[in-house]
Structures are given as C-alpha cells and as structure tokens.
Chain A
C-alpha cells in the first residue's frame, strides 16, 4: 500500500513539476486539496498584520476613552477557584493530618479562613450572593424552586424559558417567529459587570446562576440551571429489555426495548416538536449490534461508536431533525450496563451541544464553540453529573464517580486555558463535581448513615477524602500556573457539607398541626396537587422554605397580609423551633428565620416566609421536596444522596484560602465581590451588602479599604 501511494505521489509530483503546458490542468486536483490551507495561511498572515498595525491605535483608543478605575489595581490578575461544597471542618482535619499539601502551602503563603455562607446555604443562593455581593433580598434567589403564584406549581427560581411570543399557524404547524425567550431571574448585577464597566477583562467559567449568559467585557460559560435538550434539569435514559424496569423513575426515563438476535433498536428522546405539539418529542433512532457479552457497537445519527460494558463512550453528537434546516443539536454519552441476561444501555441527559448551542449558554455566543473546538465536546448541563441516575440505582457508584472525574477533567482544561489566555483581569472558575460527589458518597463517610451498606466497598470508603486530595492537587496545579505572575489567588467554597440521615416531611407536619389540608386520595401526587388551597394557610416547597398562603400573593391565598400573617409566621417559627425527632429526641432545627427580618432589599416579598435552619443530619424529605404529602413527618434517608448542606448556615461554613493574608477572622461569601472590586481599584457600588476584606500585607492594603 505504501509503495502504491509513493508511486502515485511521485508520478503526480513529477507531472506537476515537469509538464510545461500541463500545469494548467493541475488546478482542481491540487487546488481543491490545497486551496483551503492556503486560505487559512493567508487569513492568519493578514490578520496578524492587521492586528500589529491596529494594536497601537486600539491601545491609544483605550487609553483615551476607557473608564479607568479611580485607584491602581493592586494585582494584575485575580484568579478565583470555586470548589463547590468544600467543607471547612473536613478541610481543617485533613490539613492537620498533612493530606492537603498544596492547600497547606497556600495557607502558609496567605491565609485560610472559614467562609460564612448564605441563608440558606445552598448553591444557587450562595453563588448569587458571591457574584452580586448582595443578600438574597436583593438578588431574588432564595432556593432552587419557587411556587408559581397562580398555580402553586414549582418553577426554577433563577431562569425562565418561554416559547417564542409570536408564531404563525400554517395548518397543523405552529411556526415560531424568533427564538425562545430565556430570562435570568437573578437580580442585581455580578461584580464582573462592574469590572467590565471599567474595561477590565473577565473570564467567568461555570459560576452557578449565570444562565442565560449576560453581556460582559470578556467571556463567560453558564452553569447551574442550563437545561438539557428537553428543557429539563437533566433527564437520563435507560434502554432495557428487562420488563419490570417500566416503573416510574425520578430524573430519568426507562424505555423497554426488544432484542432481535444480536440487534437492539431504540430511540433517544429529544425536545418537543417545535412546530407540531401533537407529534410529541423528536427522536433519534439508534441500533446496537451486540458482539459478545462485553462489547457492542452503537449506530446513531450516521456514526458508529464502540460500546464496552462499564465504559462510557465519548460525547456522541446527536441531531434532532424536524424539517430541512430545522435541527436541534445535542451531545450525550452512552454507557453499556449489561448485555446478559438483559440488555441495559444508559444514556446521560442530552446536553446542549456546545458546538451548536440551541440556547445562550455562553457569552459571546462563540465562546462555548471556541471551547468545544479547543478541547472537544463537554458537559453543558447545569448539573452535569447525573445524581438521579445513581439515586435511582441505574448507575453504580463507580459509574457516577467516573462522570464526576470526567467533568472535572473537562473543567480543568477550560480553566487552565483561561489562565493561559487571561494575564490581566479576572478569572473565575467553579468546580461543582465536589458538591455532587459529597452528596452521593457521604454514606461511606458517615458510619451512622441509614444508607450505608453493611460492607463498604474499599474503593469508596475514602471517596470523600480522595475528593479533597484531588481538589488539593488541582489547587497545586493552579498555583503552579499562577507562579511568577502578579496574581491574587483565592480558593473558596460556597458552603460546607454535612450528613443527611433523616428527611422531614414539612407538609405532613403542617397538616398534622392544622395549617395544611390535603386530599387523602391524592396524597401521593407530585407538586402539591392534592392540597386544598381554600383551607391551607401554609405550605412547604423547595429545600428550606415555608410559604404562607397569602391573599395578596397567591391566587387562592386565604391569609391576610399584616397582623394575621405576622402572627402565623411567629406561631409557626415557635412551634418548629421545638420540633424534635422522636427516634432520638434530637432537635430538628437550629434556628427558624423570618424572611422579613433576615433579608433586606426589593425582592424580600418573593422569599419564603420562613427559612428553616436545620440541624446537622436533617433536611426536607424526598417526598416533600417534590410536593407529595406522606403520612409521617420523619423518614430515614436511604438514598445514595446522603450528604447535604440545606441546613443552618452555621453548620456548614465554606472555606477561603488566599495567597495573600486576609485580616478578617470571619469573612463571608457576601464580602468577596466588594473585595475583588477593591483589589482592582474599583469602588464597590452602594447596593452591595458585603464589606471589603483587607487583602495583602498592611503596606499594600488600599487606604480606602
């Protein structure tokens, strides 16, 4: 084969080089292949020359017209590495045991402090406070979910995706005029918007509650609340020949498939038909050819992928087609779980394809495309790791951990690329796999956890410790990349972690105490469907809140604002504060907060009336979280999701490491935004609630701070 190729090559080149008149005939053969590369070369040289020539002009322009910070920036670059959910207590413990050498080095260089989280200490609230420097009363994020004031149905607190407002009907078709409307419900503005105003470059990677991506001077990739291609927060698929798998599954969908010899056919479900609602969702058919007990071949969308039992495929691009040129692009990964005795194939939720994003998951719109070109496809879903897959026992611990590791690897690649590209300005990146892994593996860490198996697999016994060590190594690599530059490095977490042993069905408690009335026959329906609103004075929704059914707030509200509501809030707070777990006599709540007292700002009215500060070990129960009302207040948590942080903020402080000293002993997440602005010499806006932390040696601390 090689000699044949060489012969063709020599003959072709000989003809090209020696023919006299024949040169004209080379055109298409050679030009077709070579033209493209010459075009690229021409473009590169042209743009280089244009850039070199225009650079001084642009520099002068910026110098003359850009709004400059009133004070000199104290550092050229600020790097914030967010490690979601890293717990202060565990970090201290493993630091003392010498298991986190890089964090110890960072502590030695600068400082290590507990970082006060938010009320409640959950990611959407905490990261919103981090980015805006305001309390939830100003940024309007109080939980993952809020009730719709008309229907009481839960909806996402941070984003609203609506179909296009205008559409025309063509027979059975409904043709939308324009893209879907995506609205960020987080209010106030992130501190990088303030920095952008002063011409400071920002690179913001996967900071939760940043979808849709907002305009800024720099680049941004959205995170938490980015939906999957179906519009959900992540719906996995299980294709199985096992009939009893047809039960309902939370967070996923089971599709029973048939096996014909060694061939299995199925359909990957995508978004609803954009033009015909009566057609149901779009689907991409696929075929699996089974080779033996361990290997198979997946044919989907014109491409072939090898499947091996227990191994994920790479990201598989899938295209949901309706009409020519009307396409929705997604990516997902497949995992062959078994071929015998039953076929089982798992597919992750179909993420928005970063190369052809259907929704604004980055700013500018080409930034996700850039990252995909640079490093290949990557997870774009807000909650990228499929916790439901493990919770529903479709995935094993190993499968889940692999997802976490892969997502972290992707994130690290984009983070380090950002560090390479951004030499001046702000670079923030949040790794949230640490949060997911602690949620799912805490049962191996907590010897008293109800979900802890009798025999803990040795691989998982130290899973949490391994995670902290891995994060420590990441910090080490980050420090190495910051070495030798004028960089302020902060490593922080939004909250800590604790065990989640017992679930509390708050709606059942409210029912038992006469505040909520539910139709007994509809008790098991989701989303508070069986609640009699005309007789219900309070209800629980989301992870930490209780709402009063106020007349001037909810469509079927019965409690008058004012004295009646105030009295009800106080009464509930008082009763809940004394609630104890009958199984061990332990208090359930450390503190009950009234939103009107705990928050300030224009959006306090949107908050739950009471925010519950649980003691360690307690959280809202699984049923209550999805709006079912059971017949018992307390439930053992036997799910894999065994660690949590939906408790009182004092139970789960986060961490703050910095390569510069920080004088304050008790910094809060709230203080980070004004502090970073101050480091760049930019005054913190008046609306910010945080205080400026004194960063650096006293000699370099700005007098204004």
Chain B
C-alpha cells in the first residue's frame, strides 16, 4: 500500500502541475469551461482508444452486430434464425467488451487523475464572505490517550467563532470559523510546537477548493490531490474544512460529472467518423 501511495503522490504532483492549465476555469462561466474540457477529453479518449484498441477487430465485431441486428429484422419469421442472431449479438457484445478492456485500463488511470483535478473546481463552492463553517483536525494515536493541545493560529482571513471542541473518542478537534477575506489563504495550526497548514478558499464564483489535506493513504490522496498529504508518522492525520456544495444547472453537486460524461461521449461520437475510430 505504501508503494501505491507513493505512486499516487507522484502522479498527483504531475497532475497538480498540469492542473495549473485549468486556471482559466476561474475566469469562464462554469458551463462553458466544463463543456470545453469535456469536449477535449472526449477527443483525447477517442485518440487513446484508437491507438490502444484493436480497431480492425472492433470494426469486424461492429459489422457482426449490425449483421445480426439486420438478421433479426429481415428473417424474423424464422424463430430459430432470429434467436440464433440474438445469441450471436450477445456473444459479439461480450467480444466487444473484451476488446474494450485494454483501452479501459489505459484510460481509467489518467481519467481518475483528471477527474480529481476537475473535482477541485466543480465539486465544491468556496466559502462566501461571512459564512460560517467547521474546521476539523484529526489526530493520530489511540483513543484512550489524552488529546494534545491544538491551537488555530490567528489569521486575518477568518474569524474564530467558537472552539476548539475536542472529541476524544474520534481524536478530533473542531473550530467554528467565519470567512472574512476573499481569496486563497493558508490556515496554521500549532501542535506541541509543530506548525501544520491547510488551505482555505473564500469568495464567490469558481475557485479551486481543497476540502481536505489528507492522510497518507492512497485513496485519500487520490481524492484530495491538491495539498501535500501528512506524513504517515505525523501527529496530524487530516485537516478538513466543510465547504458548501456547488449548485448550478450544469455544474451542481454530482451533476457536473454526469454533464462532463455526456459531453465527452457526445464529442467522441461526433468525432469518431472524422478521426476514423471504431468504438
């Protein structure tokens, strides 16, 4: 697992560097930027599919599928022929699935990293000025040991409303804060003389929002790629800031990924003839 986490961290470093290219998202309407990205992704997926799949075999299977569909239509009076064609259709579909495995494997990894980057922009909204939220710091160690003292250091961007609240059973310390200044800010925590940091995004519109600085576990690192994960031996395991979900007719919670999925598919289907790709 440790190796996998290291690999994911390494990929994240690369993805974050490339993710800088997504900065124009902040200047464009969310529907427009998401449409453009989805279109380009569709194109990329199509090309990747073209060069990682057995195009000749897929074209042949597609022809088989069409032939069997037409068999059902043309010879429907003959039940034996029609049912045989349906069985062949299922076999063809399975063969198509088999031919999709390698492109699928090749596409899945970059897609996961791309989507993790996109999620930073489209999944959550930044904290509006004046809004209150909860910051939670999760500490390492057994639950029976007492929690150490954790201090949220003063910061002009936020106002400490209440806290810290200590939940010993979960080894968590929470604060309720109010956002004051728009922009990207870094919050600092003091724990036994050590400083720990976490970014916060305050403002309106589309901003890159990292809701959690994760622990060093590969799945956490994969989902929250922007901030460096805490080392395995760190006293702090994670710092989380609750952000409101984004809501818009396209890029609302959970629907942005559906929209992205549909647009990328439509783009791929539209371009497949032009690029001569059998999918």
Please tell me if the beta carbons of A302 and B78 are within 8 angstroms of each other in the complex: no
A483 to chain B minimum Cβ distance, whole angstroms, is 18
* In the complex, residue of chain A having the shortest beta-carbon distance to the beta carbon of B107: A29
* A570 part of interface (Cβ distance < 8 Å): no
* A364 part of interface (Cβ distance < 8 Å): yes
A325 to chain B minimum Cβ distance, whole angstroms, is 11
* B209 part of interface (Cβ distance < 8 Å): no
* B207 part of interface (Cβ distance < 8 Å): no
Please tell me if the beta carbons of A19 and B104 are within 8 angstroms of each other in the complex: no
B111 partner residues in chain A, CB cutoff 8 A: 25-29
* B63 part of interface (Cβ distance < 8 Å): yes
CA distance A29 to B108 in the complex (A): 5
A560 to chain B minimum Cβ distance, whole angstroms, is 55
23 A-B contact pairs sorted by A residue (CB < 8 Å): A9-B101, A15-B109, A22-B222, A27-B111, A28-B107, A28-B260, A29-B112, A32-B45, A36-B96, A37-B93, A37-B94, A44-B89, A48-B86, A51-B72, A51-B82, A51-B83, A52-B83, A201-B77, A369-B66, A370-B67, A370-B74, A421-B81, A422-B78
Selecting from B12-20, B162-170, B234-242, B261-269, the interface stretch reads: B261-269
**Known contacts being A25-B111, A36-B279, A44-B86, is A55 close to B79, with CB within 8 Å?**
yes
* B80 part of interface (Cβ distance < 8 Å): yes
Q: Which of the residues A15, A21, A33, A47 comes within 8 Å of B49, measured between beta carbons?
A: A33
* A12 part of interface (Cβ distance < 8 Å): yes
Q: Beta-carbon contacts of B106-126 to A below 8 Å, as 1s and 0s?
A: 111111100110010000000
* In the complex, residue of chain B having the shortest beta-carbon distance to the beta carbon of A302: B276
**Known contacts being A25-B115, A32-B49, is A373 close to B76, with CB within 8 Å?**
no
Please tell me if the beta carbons of A423 and B76 are within 8 angstroms of each other in the complex: no
CA distance A40 to B63 in the complex (A): 12
Q: Beta-carbon contacts of B20-60 to A below 8 Å, as 1s and 0s?
A: 00000000000000000000010001000100010000000
A45 partner residues in chain B, CB cutoff 8 A: 86, 90
* A24 part of interface (Cβ distance < 8 Å): yes
CA distance A35 to B107 in the complex (A): 14
* B100 part of interface (Cβ distance < 8 Å): yes
Q: Which of the residues B72, B96, B276 comes within 8 Å of A37, measured between beta carbons?
A: B96
Please tell me if the beta carbons of B65 and A40 are within 8 angstroms of each other in the complex: yes
* B257 part of interface (Cβ distance < 8 Å): yes
Please tell me if the beta carbons of B74 and A40 are within 8 angstroms of each other in the complex: no
A407 to chain B minimum Cβ distance, whole angstroms, is 21
* B70 part of interface (Cβ distance < 8 Å): yes
User: Which positions 291-324 of chain A face chain B at CB distance < 8 Å?
Assistant: 302
* In the complex, residue of chain A having the shortest beta-carbon distance to the beta carbon of B279: A36
A5 partner residues in chain B, CB cutoff 8 A: 102, 105-106
* B131 part of interface (Cβ distance < 8 Å): no
Please tell me if the beta carbons of B219 and A20 are within 8 angstroms of each other in the complex: yes
Q: Which of the residues A26, A48, A367 comes within 8 Å of B74, measured between beta carbons?
A: A367
Which A residues are within 8 Å of any B CB, using their own CB?
A: 5, 8-9, 11-13, 15-16, 18-22, 24-38, 40-41, 43-45, 47-48, 51-52, 55, 201, 219, 302, 364, 366-367, 369-370, 372-374, 376, 420-424
* B223 part of interface (Cβ distance < 8 Å): yes
A38 partner residues in chain B, CB cutoff 8 A: 93, 97
A29 partner residues in chain B, CB cutoff 8 A: 45, 104, 107-112
CA distance A421 to B71 in the complex (A): 9
CA distance A261 to B168 in the complex (A): 84
* In the complex, residue of chain A having the shortest beta-carbon distance to the beta carbon of B65: A40
Ordered nearest first, which 6 A-B pairs have the shortest CB separation?
A: A29-B111, A44-B89, A33-B100, A373-B67, A12-B105, A370-B70
CA distance A55 to B83 in the complex (A): 11
A32 to chain B minimum Cβ distance, whole angstroms, is 5
* In the complex, residue of chain B having the shortest beta-carbon distance to the beta carbon of A10: B105
B178 to chain A minimum Cβ distance, whole angstroms, is 29
**Known contacts being A34-B97, A38-B93, A44-B90, is A28 close to B64, with CB within 8 Å?**
no
Interface contacts beyond A28-B261, A33-B279, A421-B81: sample of 16 additional A-B pairs, CB < 8 Å, sorted by A: A9-B101, A12-B108, A27-B115, A27-B261, A28-B45, A28-B115, A29-B45, A34-B97, A43-B89, A45-B86, A47-B72, A201-B77, A364-B74, A366-B73, A370-B71, A421-B75
A376 partner residues in chain B, CB cutoff 8 A: 63
Please tell me if the beta carbons of A37 and B109 are within 8 angstroms of each other in the complex: no
* B128 part of interface (Cβ distance < 8 Å): no
B219 partner residues in chain A, CB cutoff 8 A: 18-22
Please tell me if the beta carbons of B102 and A51 are within 8 angstroms of each other in the complex: no
Please tell me if the beta carbons of B116 and A25 are within 8 angstroms of each other in the complex: yes
Please tell me if the beta carbons of A28 and B264 are within 8 angstroms of each other in the complex: yes
Please tell me if the beta carbons of A33 and B103 are within 8 angstroms of each other in the complex: yes
* B92 part of interface (Cβ distance < 8 Å): yes
A421 partner residues in chain B, CB cutoff 8 A: 71, 74-75, 78, 81
CA distance A219 to B74 in the complex (A): 7
CA distance A15 to B94 in the complex (A): 22
CA distance A219 to B279 in the complex (A): 30
